[in-house]
Every structure is written in C-alpha cells, then in structure tokens.
Amino acid sequence: MPAMVLLQTALPYIQIGLSVALIVAILLQRTGASLGGAFGADNFSSGFHTRRGLERTLFHATIALSILFALSALVNLIIS
C-alpha cells in the first residue's frame, strides 16, 4: 500500500506539470486560420497544410501530452 499512498500524493503534481506542458504546447502551435477566416472569408489554403520538422514534432508531442493527461486523470479517479 505505500506505493498507492505515494501515487496519491504525487499525482496532483504530475497533473499540474502535464497541464502546464500541454498549455504551452498548444499555444506554440501555429494556427491555420487567419482573422478573415473567423468572419467567413474564403480560407481554403489553411486546410491543406503539411506539417514538417519542429511543427510536426510539436503536434505529436501535444497528442502524447493530452493522452498522458487523460490517463493521469483516469488513474486519479480510480484511486480516489
């Protein structure tokens, strides 16, 4: 049982760290839609964008962070 107690005390800090990293990863991503796209302007070129290099790595890191955050929330729900 000591491992469960350690997990219960460490999990909130892990979730805070994951949430901050997820927020940073989302904010660093480039948005495809411009301001004109928000008001109904034709913006077809933003839908056909290929991610390369750092942008692709950041995209995959964001997906991984979101999955880890969801799993940590599920574990927290189960052990509470």
Span 55-76, average pLDDT: 95
Task: Place 51 in a pLDDT band, splitting at 50, 70 and 90.
Answer: confident
Q: How far is CA 32 from CA 27, 42, 48, 53, in A?
A: 13, 13, 9, 16
Q: What is the pTM of this model?
A: 0.74
DSSP letter for 1, please. -
pLDDT at 59 over 60: yes
Q: Are the C-beta atoms of 31 and 43 separated by less than 8 Å?
A: no
In sequence order, the 6+-apart residues with CB closer than 8 A to the CB of 7 are 75, 79
